[in-house]
Chain A
Amino acid sequence: MPQSDYVIEVDNLTKAYGKQEVLRGIDLKVTRGTMLALLGPNGAGKTTTVRILSTLLKYDGGTVKVEGYDVTDQADKVRSVIGLTGQSAAVDELLTGRENLVMMGRLYRLTADSAKARAQELLEEFDLLKAADRPAKTYSGGMRRRLDLAVSLIATPPVIFLDEPTTGLDPRSRLVMWDIIKKLMEKGTTILLTTQYLEEADHLADQIVVIDGGKVIAQGTAKQLKAKVGNDRLELVFKNTADFNAAVEALGKEVGDRNEKEFSLTVLIRDTNTDVKRTLETLAKHQIAIASMAIHKPTLDDVFLSLTGKQKQATEEDK
């Protein structure tokens, strides 16, 4: 089988539940050893896409290939090269961490000895050694996610699907997960990650595909996506209305957004050095005092807002 440059290739993928179209022509291409983040709000079609890629779900139209294998016709081949970490941590709660790992290793066709050795290795790597022989139902949320991820890595598959791996985790556990995911990337694993957290995609992924309502609405690197939204902004806050008004007058058409109640305004900057300096010099010349100032880089939240024109409610609630 000639291997394509792309480890994951999705072409015009469609899926409907009855009349409800969930995926309306998704295209994805993931290069070997890179991470693609599928970013979107709840119900965008992220999990559906991952379920189709991991052979769990039939689809209606398009082609879906993993490592060159068709997910429908060569499902068994696909299953032997992928690892899946689902949204709800799918570990056996009555088995211990170690038993879970060994069992999954055996089901991945590892020999008993090899499965045991690999389980030990993963327990150490994921900081689960102390809890290794306790039933998984006694684990904390973060531990359970780590075990879940460890289980999907038991046979070191070259392709990993991470379906919202940090949803519902506390900030510290999330950082731990990020570290683990980064280590995976260093080892050359090809990863498709879904997330509602723009920050997560920004932090981890090489490529980001934004989907909403079953369609790709934007893609590119975090940098490219941010560039779509625009430049950095200098935000200036003044002490009172008099200073604020004087500043508006002095800066003239350079002023972008303004908020009279909070005495604040923003100035668009193209070059941080010259533009910030010039703005501050103008204010100094007019003897206008500043209460505070900050430079805002556009966040992926801004990207999302400007692309979909709506609030991502799920993300806001989670924060």
Chain B
Amino acid sequence: MAAELVFEHKSKLWFTINDSLLMIKRSSRHIIRNTDQLLGAFFQPIMFLVLFASVFGGSISKALPPGITYINYLMAGIIVQTVAFGSTTTALSICGDLQKGIVDRFRSLPMGNLAVLNGHIVSDLFRNAISTFVMLIAGLVIGFRSHASLLNWLEIAGILILFTLAFSWLAAIVGILAKSVEAVQWLTFVLIFPLTFASTAFVPPVGMNSVLRAFAVNQPITQVVEAVRALILGTPIGNHAWLAVVWSLGLMVVAIPVASWLFRRRTTN
């Protein structure tokens, strides 16, 4: 005879949190099981780091303030770029879920509607943490050095976490709207590529024309890059830290409700 089923009797809030935790567990397992993606998370940042450092290092270091090497300058940019590019994965996972019918199954269960999104977004944080860690190690190997204190590193982590969450929620919108995985690929590429390169992630803005520079120095990625860079290099941080935080929070304030609304709409009709 079948075993007696035992149900949880907890508050609504408990279930809401538990549903999200279950989805985080699921998405995190995906990171480990999806070997191709995992390799990407390891090698793509290393490749960018080594390529940029060796190709641009010689020319750009001349434009840098005295005493700052390009690898030390580049590190912040590469980390932020990796996080920004990594948000594509969030969009891909959400788009994939919507197409495979598993979201239908989740929705036929008495579970929280948005837990699926939360799962992908939080597990993306883990993946980005892995990438960033790998990159720092690779950086150390090819000459990256920092005198940042533990507190500085915690501040860096805080800024990056907020930024990752903001970009993942934006990516979630793309993932919900896109009709296919291919569409996600080019949509995120068209959005993220210009945003990362028209910033101070890889080069100082001095050589850009006035229009581009006006955009580059004011857009969110630059704020995040400059804040992290100042903390790594120990240079004056100016307004960058709080602007980075305000941008990230601001993006989330817009992106979370929009993504949630779109997700509900996409899954009810």
Contact = CB atoms under 8 A, between A and B. Distances in A.
A90 B269 contact: no
Given A88-B100, A90-B101, A90-B102, A109 B7 contact: yes
A94 B6 contact: no
A198 B42 CA distance: 53
Contact of B30 (A82, A84, A94, A114): A94
B8 interface: yes
A184 B105 CA distance: 20
Given A111-B7, A118-B3, A155-B5, A91 B102 contact: yes
Given A107-B19, A110-B8, A156-B2, A92 B102 contact: yes
A110 B101 contact: no
Given A95-B26, A114-B5, A84 B105 contact: yes
A126 to B, nearest CB: 13
Contacts of B109: 79, 104, 107-108
A29 interface: no
B146 interface: no
Contacts of A108: 109-110
A82 B110 CA distance: 10
Contact of A79 (B2, B5, B110): B110
Give the one of A94, A107, A121 with max B CB within 10 A.
A107
Give the one of B6, B8, B109 with max A CB within 10 A.
B109
A56 interface: yes
B144 interface: no
A76 interface: yes
Given A57-B269, A135-B33, A109 B15 contact: yes
Contact of B22 (A54, A93, A103): A103
A82 B145 CA distance: 59
B106 interface: yes
Interface in A68-118: 76, 79-80, 82-84, 86-95, 99, 103-104, 106-111, 113-114, 117-118
Contacts of B34: 94
B29 interface: yes
A111 B108 contact: no
Given A114-B6, A155-B5, A86 B104 contact: yes
Interface of A: 51, 54-58, 76, 79-80, 82-84, 86-95, 99, 103-104, 106-111, 113-114, 117-118, 121, 135, 151-152, 155-156
13 contacts: A56-B267, A58-B268, A79-B109, A87-B101, A91-B102, A91-B105, A106-B22, A109-B8, A114-B3, A118-B3, A121-B3, A152-B105, A155-B7
